[in-house]
Amino acid sequence: MGKTLYLKLDQISEVHEKDVYLKDIGTLYSDDESVLNRCRTLKVKKIQADQNRRYIGSVLDIIGLIAQMDPGIQVENVGETDYIIDYKKSRQPARVWAWCKTVFVAVICFCGAAFAIMTFNNDASVTDVFQELYRLTLGQESGKVMVLEVTYSVGLAVGVILFFNHFCKWKLNTDPTPLEVEMRLYEDNISKTLIQNDGRKESGVDVT
């Protein structure tokens, strides 16, 4: 009776060791425990360069390695056909530097968002619109501070929290936030671009 191995490769896997095994880049399943253990410890790549780098591979290469190890194993691929190994050297986490980068990004985002909101309000003449609404509804000119301005500011903050579905450590529901969705789309596009560029063998200038 043939031995079957079900293989599900991840599109991109981050590793910190130069010896990369099959278990590091995907999930394996087999009814035969010995086949599963041997395939999990199968070395698929030996990284030579001592620098952070991404390597592209194909499931066909892995099937070939498994066939060399045991020709009787039948591989059923249920995952990616091309995969990326993202090698990063092991190092101690620099928490102070991480917090500095987080604070810097937060300040940039806050100032950028505040500038965008102020320029929008100025271009749309929101203050003039509020004054006109105040005069039409109450029949008199507004004072320095209008109720509409206060409610608009509060509503803007509440609307941002509801839209981004995230405030500090709390989420309003289990749906991914718009930022998480955009980051995943960005990562998918990066991975697809790396795989497609690696598959191009043409020489010359690509104008597409």
* 34-85 pLDDT tens trace: 999 999 999 999 988 888 889 999 999 999 999 999 898 999 999 889 999 9
Distances (CA, A) of 59 to 42, 44, 104: 14, 10, 41
Q: How confident is the model at residue 205 (pLDDT cuts 50, 70, 90)?
A: very low
The pairing of beta strand 53-58 with beta strand 82-87:
antiparallel
**Each residue's pLDDT tens digit, 87-145:** 988 777 778 888 899 899 889 988 998 898 889 888 888 878 878 777 777 777 766 66
Cut 0.75: pTM above it: no
Lookup: tokens for 116:
């965008």
How close are the terminal C-alpha atoms of the chain, in Å? 50
Residue 143's pLDDT is what? 66
pLDDT of residue 151: 85
Residue 40 or 161, more confident: 40
Contact 75, 5 (CB under 8 A): yes
Q: pLDDT tens digits, residue range 25-36?
A: 999 999 989 999
Tokens standing for residue 101:
């980068």
